[in-house]
Structure 1
Amino acid sequence: MQLYLRIFIALTALALVGASPALGAHPASPCPTLDASMSYQRATLMDHVCFHVAAPEDPAHRAKKPAELPATLDWQEAGGHDLVFSHTDSVYWVHLHLTNSSEKRGFWYLKLNYPLLDDVTFWQDGTSTSSTLVTGDQHPFLSRGIDYRYFLLPVTLGPGDEQEITLRIRSSGALNVPLSLETPGALIAESNHLTLTHGLFYGALLVFAVFNLLLFISSGTAYYFHNAFYMASMGIFLFAMGGFANQYFWPDSIGYANTSIPLLIALCALSMTLFGRSFLEVSPGTLSATTLTALGWASAGLLAMTFLLPYNKSILLNTLLALTVISSLFLIGILRWRQGYAPALWYVLAWSVMLVGTLIYSLAAFGYLTDFLAREFFMLIAIGAQVILLNYAMVQRWRLLNQKLLHVEHNARSELELKVHERTAQLRNTMEELEKANRKLATMSLNDALTGLYNRRHLDNVLPELCAESRRTGQPLTLALVDADHFKNINDTWGHGFGDLCLQRIADVLWRHVKRPRDIAIRFGGEEFALLLPGTSRDGAHLVCQHILDDMQHTSIRTNDGTDVTLTLSAGIAVFAADDHEQTLFQRADDALYQAKASGRNQIAIIDAEIAQ
């Protein structure tokens, strides 16, 4: 109880005192100019940023554009710190002066790494450009101009050009303004890493939720359903906090972009309460049961009140409720563990991780901690660790139940024979569902998620087998490597999303021409594909590849701006020889592909074993 009181008092004190970023004093001169062509200056962007907090009585609060700002506006230097503010009614102005000392024209993205802002307006005034971008959660998602969960502002500077960038930011919640200036290549690389991380996290969370739901269906045990409910609601909440929900679920729903956050917090609190009560086997009539019942009704009540209360009040109340639920479940878990309920130990460990992660994430979301992106990753790690510990706790609970079952069987076999039979059937069903889930996971691990083709792992598994079969039977085996020509230009020109669409179209073409039951089409990396053609001769493989190249050359793909784009492919072919190793075969096909590329692309090259020697 003392730990719970300390946590609650600390959070309440922070909420009452408020916080603002530890920023520098009033500058004696304008903010220093940032040379966008210098990577080390881009890395220290916040050393070149100025800001002004316009309270409601400040004339700058009423200004709608930079020209309306007072000439004597008191700008402050960020001093290298992220701009982080707690709940206020102020309007925030941010200013950045850019130049390009390079002799080449440069292109960058100014990225604002916080998705939950109501109104964000960018002004660009420079030597050769002047534009305004009005966006935020109170505007349709397409207002951002770039389909990305964070805010991106394209910045183009010619040699010697200068540009003034001004931001006006207003939000009904806490406010984070983590800015960075990045090249398109760095942005794409970071996006790829984030996609992989989030894909693994949300994929694992979905698998665990579905698995628990299947356990509930097979066993009828309530805490499996409550655990699936909790993981699903927590996953959707993090999806919304990360900006994905606004991007994919309700891009045109302006009001729900804000309402969804406190709504999902209350939903998470309700699911946590239900799961904790069922898993910990809290006895009715005890103080713990009364507390959890009250918290459950409070969660349901605030869930309904979210549609009536203002956002700034509902987000605060629902967050405090969620922290109260987590702290209460932590204390009740300790109590059940001290009472001798063994699975409660792992439950307490899981909730300890959750408590720390939620506190840090809440402080970042409310504007009391900087680097929201790092806190988001910390929260993902905390949730992932908690899910693993919770599922391990359920395994321990199952183990405990199994021990009790054996003890009952030993002491009263004749009287409880029917119940033992029922329990054994439940366990058998559970193991069957687990085996199905494992088979499903094994299948998923062999397929490329984007194109549906087999992946590199499948290629590594099946190629040695096909080579051994060809060596044993004397039947031909042909390997063709196919690569998209100038694919980097596609990503650089129309973005990674359109590049993914092109890869799917290439996969469609491969599906159309790789028809035989034993033929295999594989995407083994980026825009690189492989065709394994057992029983196909050199000429037959050339014919298949020629059909693929012709089909692709006549397939048009439409971009978001209505432009029709066509791709070409290059292919390299190698035929397996009896004394070949699979790596030799692959290297020969790769050399042939390189030869096709070097000869002008959109063509096929073949390297035979005797030529390679």
Structure 2
Amino acid sequence: MPRFLSVMVLWPLLTMLLASPAAAMPATLTLNADQQAYTVGPWLEILEDKSAGLAVEDVMASDQWRPSQSESVNLGVTHSDWWFRFSAHSEYRREQLFLLEIAYSNLDVIEIFLVDENRVIETFTMGDHFPFHRRPIDHHNFVTPVYWPAEKTLDVYLHVRSSGAMQLPLTIWHPADFSASDQKRQLAAGLYFGAMFIMVLYNLFMYFGIGDRSFIFYVGFVGCISLFVSSLTGYSFQYLWPEAISWNEKSIGFFLSLAVNFAVMFTHRFLGASDETRPWLIRQGLRLMYLLSLAMLLSSLFVPYTRMLVIVIGGSVLACIAALILGIYGWVKGEIAARHYVLAWSSVMIGGLVLAGNKASLLPQNAITDNAVQIGSLMLVAMLSFAIAHRLNEERRRRYDAQYEALTHERNARAAKEDALLAQQRANAELEKKVEERTEALRKANTILEELSETDVLTGLKNRRYLDEAGKREYVRCFRYRRPVSLVFVDLDHFKSLNDTHGHLIGDDCLRTVA
């Protein structure tokens, strides 16, 4: 029983020890018609050249090779040169053309050596430290044609130098399969850049139509992000500046820094970060981010590439964090546009972190990590477009509400004015009526007074005053028309004797009776 247990324990260890030499030495890759493409990573061996002075003859004789143990080599940022090798055997009975693709466009120097029985039979040199026309095939990635002899095994050695991330996603293609796959990739790239270009044009027209500076900042941001992605994927070097080697190395950091600069200005304008109602810390933080973006911009032009990458990527992450904090603050305050803003920057921040993790060899290299920036930036552009559209709708609604409120106030003011006018008219009519009544009363009073002034109180007949005025009138009338006038007097005989004898009361009665 103890012997059985010993065998059970030692057998796996013995198996691993016996298997480890075989595992350490990758097998030969077989090329045939059964596969469309061959991922070379599992068959690769790696050798680090810290002195950057080894020749192909030196590495061929070296025993320091180690297997890559991954489908896509990703060594992160390193200061060493690296050598890679693999062996492949063609089962075709005739010489066959294959395409060797390195799907990473930011490698400084690439030397490919085809070795047959320890003899170099062909050499290719390329990289972004050489003019684009030096590449054997016009492609944004590094694609090399290799004519494989019939039923032959070739050793392929690759010498790679990079001041950035050391990545080697190596694939062997049949030409027709490469063309079909590349068409899909070019279509995806065309859709991406086309969407970004449409957003640039649309928001540029919106700026000219509305005049809001947030649109021009957004246009600058989208344009710089597009150029950053184009430089990162090699399209700019292929189509825009194929001979500008030095500028091509700086362009990635430059456009990313400029995009951050536009993003900070857009944030200030879009979320009102300069508003005095914002917390002091947020306002000062955005000002610092603006200064940081300027420092990033200068570093992209004057700082060595490796250090520049650290500054630019670190600054971009800080800018995303600051933008998220400001957006979350606005979201908490109830600003609906800030919600889209937070979602937009979350997507690009995740994409940026995935890219940084990919370049730092913390995340594996695959279709998602390689295109994280494109995915994140496209989501960012879409979400920011929603945010801008929502803000425009919100401003339009506020203007409509303000216009409606102003119109309501105007209507109320007009109604109040009409009511006041009606009240004034009624008051005037009432006053006029009262004036007429008072005038009529005054006229009647004057008439009565005049009657009283012309009438004798005792007899009720016209008095001496009336006689004087009537006499004057009649005299003037008769004089005007030349007519005669007559005056009749009635005298009461012995009235004075009656008045003296019987008293004034009897005299008054006598006068009243005669009248």
TM-score for both structures, normalised by structure 1: 0.60
Query: Aligned partners of 2:164, 2:255: CA distance in 1, in Å?
Result: 16
The match for 1:43 among 35, 38, 43 is 38
Give the aligned residue type for 2:59: L
Matches within 5 A, 1:487-566: none
Matches within 5 A, 1:58-69: 61-63=52-54, 65-69=55-59
Residues 27 and 330 of structure 1: is their aligned pair in 2 closer, same or farther, counting only changes over 3 Å? farther
The match for 1:288 among 259, 282, 286 is 282
Query: Aligned partners of 1:74, 1:264: CA distance in 2, in Å?
Result: 40
- Is residue 273 from structure 1 mapped to residue 267 from structure 2 by the alignment? no
Query: Aligned partners of 2:381, 2:302: CA distance in 1, in Å?
Result: 33
Report % sequence identity.
21
Question: How far is 1:408 from its partner?
Answer: 1.5
Residue by residue over 1:33-82, the C-alpha shift from the partner in whole angstroms, topping out at 9 and shown as x without a partner, is 112125459535322211112223xxxx311x311337343111122431
Residues 31 and 294 of structure 1: is their aligned pair in 2 closer, same or farther, counting only changes over 3 Å? same
Residues 161 and 342 of structure 1: is their aligned pair in 2 closer, same or farther, counting only changes over 3 Å? same
Question: How far is 1:406 from its partner?
Answer: 2.1
Matches within 5 A, 1:228-243: 228-243=219-234
Listed as ranges, the gaps of 5+ residues in structure 1 are: 1-23, 418-613
Give the aligned residue type for 1:103: R
Give the aligned residue type for 1:86: G
Counterpart position of 1:193: 184
TM-score for both structures, normalised by structure 2: 0.71
Counterpart contact for 1:26–1:74, Cα < 8 Å: no
Give the aligned residue type for 1:413: L
Residues 416 and 233 of structure 1: is their aligned pair in 2 closer, same or farther, counting only changes over 3 Å? farther
What SS class does the counterpart of residue 93 from structure 1 fall into?
strand
Matches within 5 A, 1:105-124: 105-124=95-114
- Is residue 324 from structure 1 mapped to residue 318 from structure 2 by the alignment? yes
Question: How far is 1:192 from its partner?
Answer: 0.6
Higher Cα Rg, which structure: 2
The match for 2:363 among 369, 372, 379 is 369
Question: How far is 1:367 from its partner?
Answer: 3.2
Residue by residue over 1:329-349, the C-alpha shift from the partner in whole angstroms, topping out at 9 and shown as x without a partner, is 011001011112221111111
Counterpart contact for 2:36–2:173, Cα < 8 Å: no
Residues 112 and 318 of structure 1: is their aligned pair in 2 closer, same or farther, counting only changes over 3 Å? same
Counterpart position of 2:298: 304
Counterpart position of 1:182: 173
Give the aligned residue type for 2:307: K
Counterpart position of 1:94: 84
Counterpart contact for 2:77–2:359, Cα < 8 Å: no
Counterpart position of 1:545: none
Give the aligned residue type for 1:66: V
Query: Aligned partners of 1:158, 1:105: CA distance in 2, in Å?
Result: 5
Counterpart contact for 2:37–2:174, Cα < 8 Å: no
Counterpart contact for 1:262–1:315, Cα < 8 Å: yes
**More helix by percentage:** 2
Give the aligned residue type for 2:226: G
Q: Which has the higher contact order (CA 8 A, sep 6+)?
A: 2
Counterpart contact for 2:136–2:145, Cα < 8 Å: no
Over the aligned positions, Cα root-mean-square deviation in angstroms equals: 2.3
Counterpart contact for 1:25–1:76, Cα < 8 Å: no
Question: How far is 1:228 from its partner?
Answer: 0.7
- Is residue 134 from structure 1 mapped to residue 125 from structure 2 by the alignment? yes
Residue by residue over 1:388-433, the C-alpha shift from the partner in whole angstroms, topping out at 9 and shown as x without a partner, is 111111111112112211221233239999xxxxxxxxxxxxxxxx
Matches within 5 A, 1:118-517: 118-126=108-116, 130-285=121-276, 286-371=280-365, 373-413=367-407
Query: Aligned partners of 1:416, 1:177: CA distance in 2, in Å?
Result: 72
What SS class does the counterpart of residue 71 from structure 2 fall into?
coil
Question: How far is 1:283 from its partner?
Answer: 3.6
Query: Aligned partners of 1:366, 1:372: CA distance in 2, in Å?
Result: 14
Residues 366 and 264 of structure 1: is their aligned pair in 2 closer, same or farther, counting only changes over 3 Å? farther
Query: Aligned partners of 1:284, 1:69: CA distance in 2, in Å?
Result: 63
- Equivalent pairs counted in the alignment come to 389
What SS class does the counterpart of residue 92 from structure 2 fall into?
coil
What SS class does the counterpart of residue 43 from structure 1 fall into?
strand
Counterpart contact for 1:141–1:246, Cα < 8 Å: yes
Counterpart contact for 1:101–1:159, Cα < 8 Å: yes
Listed as ranges, the gaps of 5+ residues in structure 2 are: 1-18, 412-515
Query: Aligned partners of 1:327, 1:354: CA distance in 2, in Å?
Result: 11
Query: Aligned partners of 1:416, 1:252: CA distance in 2, in Å?
Result: 67
Counterpart contact for 1:33–1:98, Cα < 8 Å: yes
Residues 28 and 342 of structure 1: is their aligned pair in 2 closer, same or farther, counting only changes over 3 Å? closer
Counterpart contact for 2:113–2:120, Cα < 8 Å: no
